[in-house]
Structure 1
Amino acid sequence: MEYRFFDPAAKTDVSQGNLPHWEQLNAFYFITWRMADSMPKAALERWEKERDSWLRARGIDPSIEDWHRVFEILPDADRQEFHQLFTARWNALLDEGHGECVLRRRDLGEVVESSLRYFDGERYDLEAFVVMPNHVHVLAGVSGRGEMKKHCRNWKNFTAMQINKALGREGQFWQWESFDHLVRTPASLEKFREYILNNPIKARLKEGEYRVWAKPK
């Protein structure tokens, strides 16, 4: 399958929860999901308030479904500033290791890895992934409309069931909503790949506390 990078002129399916979700046909995505207890409530509320204020200052209403469409046509400098102020900070909060961080356990991390690998090369094509103690990053090419969210939902549902069973508990394991980003360029694809590979090092994790993989070049 030949995958494409984000095309502003192409048909884009947009859905909205607390975060916007954009999908295009046969595209690369950087996807993140996290454990339900991985983000302190006060820090999350402060992050959202500051993000929304930043967007409104540039004429973007964060409450509308497709605010990200307007965001994408901002000047490059503004978009880079947004990612430095908010995307990088979001990831830094995750790397602080809040919550139980049960994915440090090798057997539970392997549950997530096995789920990601199961249909690799058949329903999607993995470029890289990392299973951190309280969150997961995946870089993948996905074909078909609506397939990215479907795969993400399947990964989360299956792994939550298996991990809860192993822990002898029930209830919410993952945060309901995931973060996903359409990859814009080959350079961005490489940047996300490097981020995934370096994430355990940046978070100062020990061998065995994470699962990481990237497709050989």
Structure 2
Amino acid sequence: MPTHYRRHLPHLHPPGAALFLTMRLAGSLPQALVDELRADAADGLSQRQRFARYEQQLEAGGYGPTWLSQPAVAVLVLAGLHHQATNGCYALLAACAMPNHLHCVLRLPDTSSTPFFRVLQRFKSYTALQANRQLAQSGRFWQDETYDHIIREGQPDALLHAIRYTAYNPVKASLCQQWEEWPATFVADEWRELL
């Protein structure tokens, strides 16, 4: 099973790895900014620096759809994540549906008959279909490519940092005062007390 591939970004999904993922809604960033950030990559801007710029624009939320701000849509997206976790596709550690993007932290199983990129495809396809029904629309829901980052667990507190980042994203974006107030946030029980 392939554990790595490349589109616009490199994707590495080794068995047992903890991953930080960001999925954004289709059209949630202006194409001019996306093109600019791709050019920055050619000029040596790191993937982490590009992600920080993407994230800043997504949090500002001044462009494109905000379908995940609708509670019913956010609930079905989080339910889709939980469904795949229940089926053993990964262990879901944290997730947060922001108005125009989704963060999640998960751990891949040590062995799997299904490559993780297929798991992502199924998740995006299913939730896009359900969300479009909920919104009485059709067309693209998610941006094609997902930002993913392996959490280097050899670094102290790296996994906790990713979970904290995910949970506190609505606080950082001034959508609430405490992470527990945001209804579209999930943190696994074993991590809640550490936040």
Query: What TM bracket, shorter-length normalisation?
Result: 0.7 to 0.9
The yes-or-no answer on 1:140 pairing with 2:140 is no
TM-score, structure 2 length as denominator?
A: 0.84
Aligned pair in 2 of structure 1 residues 139, 23: CA closer, same or farther (>3 Å)?
same
SS at match of 1:25: coil
One of 122, 133, 150 as aligned partner of 1:182: 150
Instruction: Please give the residue correspondences for 1:16-27 in structure 2 after superposition, counting only pairs within 5 Å.
Output: 16-27=6-17
Larger radius of gyration: 1
Q: CA RMSD in A?
A: 2.2
4+ residue stretches of structure 1 with deviation over 3 A? 206-210
Aligned pair in 2 of structure 1 residues 155, 118: CA closer, same or farther (>3 Å)?
same
Instruction: Please give the residue correspondences for 1:37-116 in structure 2 after superposition, counting only pairs within 5 Å.
Output: 37-54=27-44, 83=48, 85-97=49-61, 98-116=63-81
User: 2-side partners of 1:135 and 1:19: how far apart?
Assistant: 18
- State the partner residue of 2:193: none
CA-CA distance at 1:151 after TM superposition: 1.8
Larger RCO (CA under 8 A, 6+ residues apart): 1
Query: How big is each residue's C-alpha offset from its partner over 1:113-155, in whole Å with a ceiling of 9 and x where there is no partner?
Result: 1111113244111110001111111100112375321221111
Q: How many pairs align?
A: 181
In the alignment, structure 2 segments of 5+ residues that lack a partner are 191-195
SS at match of 2:43: helix
What letter corresponds to residue 203 of structure 1 in structure 2?
A: A
SS at match of 2:152: coil
- State the partner residue of 2:123: 155
TM-score, structure 1 length as denominator?
A: 0.76
State the percentage of identical aligned residues. Answer: 28
- State the partner residue of 2:169: 199
Contact 1:131–1:211 (Cα < 8 Å) also in 2: yes
Return 120-129 or 204-213, whichever deviates more. Answer: 204-213
